[in-house]
Structure formats: structure tokens, C-alpha cells
Amino acid sequence: MTSNDAERTASVPRRRERGGFWVGFAASVFHPFSMMAGRRSLENRERIPATGGALLVFNHISEIDPVYDAVVVHSAKRVPRFMAKHSLWKIPVVGTLLRSSGQIPVYRGSGEAQQSLDAALQALRSGKIVVIFPEGTVTRDPELWPMQSRTGVARLALDAEVPVIPAVNWGTQHVFDYHKRKFRPFGRKQIRVRLGEPLDLTAYADRRRDAPLLREVTDVVMGSVRDLLAEVRQEPAPTSFYVNRGRVRPEHGDLDRSESERDTNPGSS
């Protein structure tokens, strides 16, 4: 996005994007909870475009991250479309909420994985805000830095041709500690959600869509997320990504196919 594009976007008056009953219901729950659990700070919401599609790329440190990420998007008068594991659609009420509010189920290890990618691309191209957690699950990094991520985010970033915005959560791990399975919904914890500047990925636009390119773009995108997190934490970022060696089923945004599949069909999205 150029500076002129940013100026035009900033000049567009924000009107609440209509999301229907279920979006309003979720907002009526998420907003009070996010304020009750701690002192929340929603930073740089103006970087979410007033109109048109955008891909928000978040780190993932707690299972309640989506609550705060939904709040930051909704407070910018947009409706988020999350990419989340398809098993959530089977939960009563939750499944109805996800389905009715236009969320995107993610399948792994099946022919339906491409359908998830296609649905996300369609949402972006039709002017929606799509939220993705490229790590696929809560980070296993002992210091809660982003892990090496799956390359679905690169395919979306390159093919959708919309702003790609790095974003971070910090402090949500003190509300719900994934690793210790402890939930602390009350107190004055500091919880921050910060959005970065849209990324310039034009240098990759005309290159061949092969596995090395997808890995490179994924690392560039997640490197920007890691650097933004370092700003929030006021700590130096690690120079490499933690690699999760365990076989953990992903929870959010896993669109990665096998390296062999990408090599045999490198031009596909």
C-alpha cells in the first residue's frame, strides 16, 4: 500500500460494517470480557482499512487471542473472518455463531484443505477482513516467540492482492495460560494488541510460486510479526524461529500442504 493509498483510506468515513445478529451477539460478549480480564490496549486500529479486504497476520500465545483480535477488528467498525479449526463448527451454539458470522473452517490433511484456502481468498477479494494465525496452534516456543509457521499465509498474501498487516497479542497468556491450563479471568493484567504497518510484498509478485518462495515469504511476514512483538515486549527478538517437532493438530489457520505436493504443482494457490 502506497502513502497515497493510505491517505485515501484514512479519508474514508468509517461506517459500521453490518454483521447480523450473531456478530452483534459475539460483540456483546467479547467486549465486556476483554475489559473485565485486564487493562486492554488496542493499538493502531486505524491501520485496518475502512473498506476493502485485508489480511491480518497474528502471533498466537493463548487460546483467548481470538477474543481480543475480534474486538480490535470490530472496534475499527469491521467484521473479522477468522480461519479456525473445522471441529469448532460441531460445537453447539459455537458452530452456529461461526457459521452465521461467516468464519472460515480450516481442514488439514484432506482434499478439503484447498477449499479453506479458496474460501479465504474469496473473502479477501470480496472486501472482507481475514484473520490468520500462521503457526496453526499456540506457540510452543518456551519464551512465547512465534514458531516457524506454515506457508498458507504466503499463498494468501501473494494471491489476494490486499494489504497484509502484521499484528501481535501480548498479555493474553496471563489470562489463559495454555501450557499450564490456568484461567485467570479477573485482575489488572496488561493486555496489548498492536497492529503494524502493511507490508510491501511487491518484490515477490512475479516470482514462481514454488516451495522456496512460499517459505521465504512466510518467514518475511512472520519476521515482521516477531519484530513487532519485540517492540511490545521491549526485548530483543530471537534471530531464528522455534521449530515445533511435535505432531500437534493445528487450531487456527493451517493451510499448509506437503512440500511434495507444492513441488509437483508449484503454480497452484
Query: What does the DSSP assignment read for 46-92?
Result: GGS-SSS-EEEEE---STTHHHHHHHHHHHTT--EEEEEEGGGGGST
* pLDDT in the model for residue 13: 55
As a whole number of angstroms, the distance between CA 108 and CA 5 comes to 36
Please name the residue ranges forming H helices in the chain.
Answer: 3-11, 20-36, 65-75, 94-100, 113-125, 152-160, 172-175, 211-233, 259-264
The gap from C-alpha 22 to its chain's centroid, in whole angstroms, comes to 20
> What is the value of pTM for the model shown?
0.84
Mean pLDDT to the nearest integer, 96-112: 81
Mean pLDDT to the nearest integer, 185-213: 93
The rounded mean pLDDT for the chain is 85
Nearest to 48 by CA among 81, 73, 80, 82: 73
Could you read off the pLDDT of 215-230 as tens digits, one per residue?
Answer: 999 999 999 999 999 9
Specify the pairing of strand 164-170 against strand 189-195. antiparallel
* pLDDT in the model for residue 259: 35
* pLDDT in the model for residue 18: 64
Q: Which CATH superfamily is domain 20-242 in?
A: Glycerol-3-phosphate (1)-acyltransferase (3.40.1130.10)
Question: pLDDT tier at 246 (50, 70, 90 boundaries)?
Answer: low
Mean pLDDT to the nearest integer, 163-177: 97
Structural domain boundaries of the chain? 20-242
As a whole number of angstroms, the distance between CA 228 and CA 223 comes to 9
Q: Could you tell me the CA-to-CA distances from 190 to 31, 65, 184, 248 in Å, in that order?
A: 16, 14, 13, 29
- Size of the chain in residues: 269
Residue 79: pLDDT over 90: yes
Is 135 in contact with 150 (CB distance < 8 Å)? yes
* pLDDT in the model for residue 28: 87
Dihedral angle at the C-alpha atoms of 34, 19, 199, 237, nearest 10 degrees?
20
